Amino acid sequence: MTTQRTGIRGLRAVAAAGMGLVTGALATWTAQRHALDSMHTRIDSLEQDAQAQRQTNLAHQQRLHWELLSKAMDDPELAEVLDTYDGTVPPRKQRQFLFANALYTNAFCYYRMGNISREEFFGFARGILQNRVFREYWYATRPHRATLIDTSEEAEMGRMVDDLLRQLEETDIDEWWVVGEPPAE
């Protein structure tokens, strides 16, 4: 009988120790899960902050770009600094090209910021390509776009506009607003 009591006490001790281990493990897991959830929440918050900062930076850069182009459009001496056409473009045309660049860059920045969709950007490009001066600008700056990294978003959008321009030139219909297939998002 003494042996049975000792065996039962031993089993109770082992069971109590096992319950203690399970309880400790469960408490540790709960604490770690809470810490992990807290870290995920913090990471999400930091990612949102980073996205907001990128948006602010893009808006600021767009503003600076416009200010620089405006100065060059207003002052022929400053426009000479941006003459990358080997002097083949007269000053009046260069000012028009600077403005065309500002229009395109504005739309591209709006797209990058998420203010317009890829389809809306495509529609803008289709419309602005109806303008003779913008088409001249687009042809004149083809070598500039060739220097972009092929995988960049800017290069991708440039190729999209190149393809659209080619389609517009090859079409024989007057309804330019139906030419080209808007890209999928």
Reply yes or no on whether the pLDDT at 128 is more than 70.
yes
Give pLDDT, residue 40.
83
Tokens 């319950």, located at residue: 19
pLDDT of residue 100: 95
- 182 pLDDT band (50/70/90 cuts)? confident
Q: Is the dihedral of CA 156, 162, 163, 168 positive or negative?
A: positive
Q: What is the mean pLDDT of residues 159-173?
A: 88
| Range 56-73 average pLDDT | 81
The vertex-75 CA angle with 74 and 77, nearest 5°, equals 160
Query: So what's the pLDDT on residue 89?
Result: 85
Q: What angle do CA 180, 182, 185 make, to 5 degrees?
A: 155
Q: Which residue has the higher pLDDT, 175 or 100?
A: 100
Q: Which of 41-55, 105-119, 159-173 has the lowest mean pLDDT?
A: 41-55
Tally Cβ neighbours within 10 Å of residue 107. Answer: 19
59, pLDDT greater than 60: yes
Instruction: Categorize the per-residue pLDDT at 96 as very low, low, confident or very high, splitting at 50, 70 and 90.
Output: very high
Assess whether pLDDT exceeds 70 at residue 26. yes
User: How would residue 4 be classed by pLDDT, with cut points 50, 70 and 90?
Assistant: low
Q: Is residue 34 pLDDT above 80, yes or no?
A: yes
